[in-house]
Amino acid sequence: MAQADLQVNRPEAPAGHGHPEKWKWYDYFTFNVDHKVIGIQYLVTSFLFYLVGGFMAVLMRTELATPDSDFLSPDLYNAFLTNHGTIMIFLWIVPAAIGGFGNYLIPLMIGARDMAFPKLNALAFWLNPPAGALLLGSFYFGGAQAGWTSYPPLSEITANAAQTMWILAIVMVGTSSILGSVNFLVTIWKMRVPSMAWDQIPLFCWAMVATSLLALFSTPVLAAGLILLLFDINFGTSFFKPDAGGNVVVYQHLFWFYSHPAVYLMILPIFGIMSEVIPVHARKPIFGYKAIAYSSLTICLVGLFVWVHHMFTSGTPPWMRIFFTISTLIVAVPTGIKIFSWTATLWGGKIRYTTAMLFAVGLLLMFVFGGLSGVTLGAAPFDIHVHDTYYVVGHFHYVLFGGSVFGIYAGVYHWFPKITGRMLNEPLGKVHFVLTFIGTILTFTPMHSLGMQGMPRRVAMYDPQFQGLNQLVTVGAYILAVSVIPFYFNVIWSWMKGPKAGGNPWNAMTLEWTTASPPIIENWEVLPVLTHGPYDYGFDPTAEAPAEEAIVPK
């Protein structure tokens, strides 16, 4: 594959060289268009907001250690629950998984020098910090208190200034998400090294294709709903005011049309991370490449038609409750395919017990539980009992914390050497894993029982009969709070002083490992040529020197 071809095909490729040899520390605080800088900006920002959201969770769990509302004022409690959810979704998991790993890895994985639209990319990132500032600033006005769902009429009569800031923040991160999605799609579509066929793309990129499509379809609908809400609050319209002819249920449809797919936005990139981490550390080809790739697209498609399962107890006619019961249950099939494929990938492997692998397998264990409880929630007759209870809280934390957060951790332990050029400390990583694993089970398992017994969610005060289990949950939450200490310490210390990683510390086969760690500014001196598939482990004893010994797949 001649390099000349590549340069002709892509005018923005190495032509310019209008950049220094290496970025300085302050370049990371500027409108930098390098996808790696942007990826790191996303990751660092999101890990900061993770602490903020986690701090709110700890305060809420402290409040819930006793049945009475005696630690926080109820208004403040509601502000914390609203902003905990909002921050964890929009400023932690989405920017870390999609913005962070997506931007950092996609060009490196497909052999591109940058994203298709670098300036758009920088713009997408820089929408995030002001959005975060708006959310934090809204606490000056009491903080939005209507839950991350912000159902009217409550959201229209509570803390109007803060609610308006909340809406603006979400619209900004939504815009960021749309810009990012366009960028990912065009990049993966157009900027692969010419030798890379569609069935040789790393599965993380497939997952990002599905994620981006989903974000493009659904995010505008949320933006529309929120703008209408903004008008209702500030400009006297009455889209959602029942006493002036509005309809409160319409908002719920607009909201959930985005916000259920948002669940897949938060897990599909993580599925992609799983498909990268597991083969490397199990030393096995991924089992069922095509099944995993297509099941991402299936989840994307079916995931667009399940939103009413959040509204089974709302103003929904019977046919809707039934239709969405069936469609929701169907999502279990493509998700199951992925779980089984990763499990089968472990079979016959030479599994290395690295921290990345521990988190990946931990995710598998958590996700099986969260997936099964998700199926029960899909069945309308049972959902009607447990809707808006702690059962739901337990379920979605199992898939979002046990799933997405475990996945982000796995990704960090896996790609940290690539991103920083230094290894993380493995023993400290294992301490982090054990604490996180125990804390997760302790925090989120009793919630299922609480919900079924009769404890609603989003309450600052509860029936004293639930105190025992709630205290157990609070202990679990404290363990989770402690668990991040070894992690943050590990990351900061290793970034400064960790042992040098070298280009390919895990002997992995995807393209990002063919360049230096950290990669040079335009990723490669000479663009790589694909000599084997992304997961061709075990096919060739000399596979550890991948560049020369070409294996022509298929």
Residues of this chain, 203-242, that bind another protein according to CB under 8 A? 242
Question: In terms of CB distance, is 172 or 447 closer to another protein?
Answer: 447
Select from 16, 22, 243, 542 the one that contacts another protein (CB under 8 A). 243
Least distance in Å: CB of 4 to another protein? 34
In Å, how far from its chain's centre is CA 360? Answer: 14
Question: In terms of CB distance, is 30 or 376 closer to another protein?
Answer: 376
Stretch (H or E) spanning 346:
helix 318-346
Site membership for another protein, residue 317 (CB under 8 A): yes
For tokens 């016959």, the residue is 348
Question: In terms of CB distance, is 518 or 553 closer to another protein?
Answer: 553
Site membership for another protein, residue 441 (CB under 8 A): no
Q: Residue 280 in contact with residue 513, Cβ under 8 Å?
A: no
Site membership for another protein, residue 428 (CB under 8 A): no
Site membership for another protein, residue 322 (CB under 8 A): yes
Per-position DSSP letters for 132-190, written without gaps between them = HHHHHHGGGGT---STTTT-TTHHHHS-HHHHHHHHHHHHHHHHHHHHHHHHHHHHHHH
List binders of another protein among 18-77 (CB under 8 A).
Answer: 69, 73-75, 77
Question: Phi and psi of 422, rounded to 5°?
Answer: -130, 150
Site membership for another protein, residue 289 (CB under 8 A): yes
Select from 1, 8, 15, 333 the one that contacts another protein (CB under 8 A). 333
Handedness of CA 73, 77, 80, 86 (dihedral sign): negative
List binders of another protein among 360-379 (CB under 8 A).
Answer: 361, 364-365, 368-369, 372-373, 375-376, 379
Question: In terms of CB distance, is 51 or 249 closer to another protein?
Answer: 249
Q: Residue 40 in contact with residue 101, Cβ under 8 Å?
A: no
Site membership for another protein, residue 541 (CB under 8 A): yes
In the 8-state DSSP scheme, what is residue 12? Answer: T
Number of CB atoms found within 10 A of residue 384's CB:
11
Least distance in Å: CB of 278 to another protein? 11
Select from 337, 405, 410, 501 the one that contacts another protein (CB under 8 A). 337
Question: In terms of CB distance, is 482 or 547 closer to another protein?
Answer: 547
- Which range of residues in 168-176, 322-330, 418-426, 427-435 is near another protein by CB under 8 A? 322-330
Site membership for another protein, residue 336 (CB under 8 A): yes
Question: In terms of CB distance, is 155 or 183 closer to another protein?
Answer: 155
Residue 274's nearest CA partner among 347, 355, 211, 361 is: 361
Question: In terms of CB distance, is 34 or 383 closer to another protein?
Answer: 383
CA–CA distance, 429 with 359 (Å, rounded to integer) = 10
Tokens of 416: 């940290």
The length of the chain is 554
Select from 59, 168, 329, 431 the one that contacts another protein (CB under 8 A). 329
CA–CA distance, 188 with 198 (Å, rounded to integer) = 10
Site membership for another protein, residue 343 (CB under 8 A): yes
- Which range of residues in 22-30, 416-424, 447-455, 473-481 is near another protein by CB under 8 A? 447-455
List binders of another protein among 108-167 (CB under 8 A).
Answer: 145-147, 149, 151, 153-154, 157-158
**With contacts defined by CB under 8 A, how many residues of the chain interact with another protein?**
100
> Measured between alpha carbons, how far is residue 178 from residues 185, 254, 413, 473 in Å?
11, 17, 28, 37
Question: In terms of CB distance, is 284 or 418 closer to another protein?
Answer: 284
Least distance in Å: CB of 165 to another protein? 19
- Which range of residues in 187-195, 320-328, 432-440, 498-506 is near another protein by CB under 8 A? 320-328
Which residues neighbour 241 within 8 Å (Cβ) at sequence distance 6 or greater?
152, 153, 156, 232
List binders of another protein among 377-416 (CB under 8 A).
Answer: 379-382, 384-385, 387-389
Least distance in Å: CB of 541 to another protein? 7
In the 8-state DSSP scheme, what is residue 96? Answer: I
CA–CA distance, 453 with 546 (Å, rounded to integer) = 57
- Which range of residues in 16-24, 44-52, 395-403, 538-546 is near another protein by CB under 8 A? 538-546
List binders of another protein among 245-284 (CB under 8 A).
Answer: 246-249, 282-284
CA–CA distance, 181 with 171 (Å, rounded to integer) = 15
Question: In terms of CB distance, is 5 or 544 closer to another protein?
Answer: 544
Question: In terms of CB distance, is 75 or 426 closer to another protein?
Answer: 75
Tokens of 108: 């490196």
CA–CA distance, 424 with 399 (Å, rounded to integer) = 26
Site membership for another protein, residue 466 (CB under 8 A): no
Tokens of 264: 């897949």
In the 8-state DSSP scheme, what is residue 192? Answer: S
Q: Residue 132 in contact with residue 139, Cβ under 8 Å?
A: no
Question: In terms of CB distance, is 35 or 338 closer to another protein?
Answer: 338
Q: Is 69 exposed, middle or buried (0-12, 13-18, 19+ CB in 10 A)?
A: middle
Site membership for another protein, residue 502 (CB under 8 A): no
CA–CA distance, 417 with 423 (Å, rounded to integer) = 5
Site membership for another protein, residue 340 (CB under 8 A): yes
CA–CA distance, 343 with 286 (Å, rounded to integer) = 10
Select from 349, 411, 505, 528 the one that contacts another protein (CB under 8 A). 349
Select from 19, 119, 190, 352 the one that contacts another protein (CB under 8 A). 352
Tokens of 134: 């708006």
Least distance in Å: CB of 380 to another protein? 6
Select from 261, 370, 537, 546 the one that contacts another protein (CB under 8 A). 537
- Which range of residues in 9-17, 31-39, 111-119, 533-541 is near another protein by CB under 8 A? 533-541
Determine the angle formed by the axes of helices 248-282 and 355-378, rounding to 10 degrees.
Answer: 150
